[in-house]
């Protein structure tokens, strides 16, 4: 029971943090639970594909294997399944009526995936694995979800840039995920030294993306929000910044 709690506690804390930062119109709890469940379910087909892709490696040295595993086996497969699930469940849902909502839904999918994965790893590896993953793997999945949801928000609400932002909603989390895994799998001490700065950068990216969409949600007419922003606050609109 202790290991199970250790596995799920970081998931619950991060999800609560993301949920309560939605200041203007919180998403239905039922939808968030649906996202968590869907994220947990997609781990199993993703794991099957990852296993098949891993079998293509025969006699590879460490660095090529780390690149392939990080960017193809893990990064591409897992982020593709998350992207497809967010698209199917939430992209056209009527409750997705603010940019920030994309972050909430994508993080729910990502943390559902992370929850099941974390339980499997921690029950097998024990307390030490649980503590390490609580500060690495689980937050990383959340960060990838934040970036994915950020671009889903732009795709839904920024006219004329839907295709570009949908592409970014998959490609950028995939590349970040691949880099994250590559650094860990490289077994190179210099690359491993980059891991902590990477986690810091991911945190900064995530916080900035959340703030940008919170600002946009502050005066979203679709949800009835008309709060004024201070002069000079920036709202990212597609590929450029507009000063409000």
Please give the span between the terminal C-alpha atoms of the chain, in angstroms, as a whole number: 51
| Domain ranges for the chain | 2-243
For helices 195-217 and 162-185, give the axis angle rounded to 10 degrees: 160
Q: What is the pLDDT of residue 113?
A: 97
Q: Beta-carbon neighbour count of residue 232 at 10 Å?
A: 7
Q: Which pairing describes strands 240-243 and 234-237: parallel, antiparallel, or unpaired?
A: antiparallel
pTM of the model: 0.86
CB atoms within 10 A of CB 220: 20
What's the pLDDT at 230? 34
* Residue in the structure block whose two tokens are 């690149």: 67
Residues 6+ apart with CB under 8 A from 32: 15, 19, 104, 105, 108
Per-residue confidence in pLDDT tens, the chain, 244 aa: 889 999 999 999 999 999 988 877 889 999 999 999 999 999 999 999 999 999 998 878 889 999 999 999 999 999 999 999 999 999 999 999 899 999 999 999 999 999 999 999 999 999 999 999 999 999 999 999 999 999 999 999 988 889 999 999 999 999 999 999 999 998 888 888 888 888 888 888 888 888 888 777 665 555 444 433 333 334 444 444 332 2
Identify the sign of the CA torsion 134, 23, 148, 78. Answer: positive
């Amino acid at each position: 029971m202790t290991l199970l709690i250790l596995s799920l506690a970081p998931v619950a804390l991060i999800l609560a943090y993301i949920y309560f930062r939605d200041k203007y119109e919180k998403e239905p709890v039922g939808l968030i639970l649906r996202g968590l469940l869907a994220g947990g379910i997609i781990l199993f087909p993703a794991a099957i594909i990852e296993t098949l892709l891993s079998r293509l490696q025969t006699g590879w040295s460490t660095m090529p294997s780390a690149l392939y595993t990080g960017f193809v086996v893990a990064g591409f497969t897992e982020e593709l399944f998350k992207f497809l699930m967010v698209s199917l469940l939430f992209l056209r849902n009527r409750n997705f009526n603010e940019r920030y909502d994309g972050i909430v839904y994508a993080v729910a999918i990502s943390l559902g995936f992370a929850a099941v994965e974390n339980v499997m790893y921690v029950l097998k590896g024990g307390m030490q694995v649980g503590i390490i993953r609580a500060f690495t793997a689980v937050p990383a999945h959340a960060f990838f979800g934040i970036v994915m949801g950020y671009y889903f928000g732009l795709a839904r609400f920024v006219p004329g840039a839907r295709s570009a932002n949908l592409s970014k909603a998959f490609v950028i989390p995939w590349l970040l995920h691949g880099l994250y895994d590559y650094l860990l799998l490289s077994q190179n001490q210099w690359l491993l030294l980059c891991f902590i700065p990477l986690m810091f950068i991911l945190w900064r990216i995530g916080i900035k993306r959340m703030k940008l969409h919170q600002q946009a949600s502050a005066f979203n007419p679709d949800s009835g929000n008309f709060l004024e922003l201070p002069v000079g606050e920036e709202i990212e609109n597609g590929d450029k910044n507009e000063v409000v």
